[in-house]
Structure 1
Amino acid sequence: MISIEIPRPSRRIRHIHIEFGTLTLDYQAGAEQAQNVADQLAQGFPELMVTIDDDVRADLPPLPCAALWD
Structure 2
Amino acid sequence: MIGITVTVDADHLDNIEAVGAALRLRGMRIDQVHGTIGIISGAVGEDERAVLESVPGVQSVETENTVRIPPPDANPQ
> Shared topology, TM-score over 0.5?
no
Q: Which has the higher contact order (CA 8 A, sep 6+)?
A: 2
Structure 2-normalised TM-score? 0.37
Structure 1-normalised TM-score? 0.40
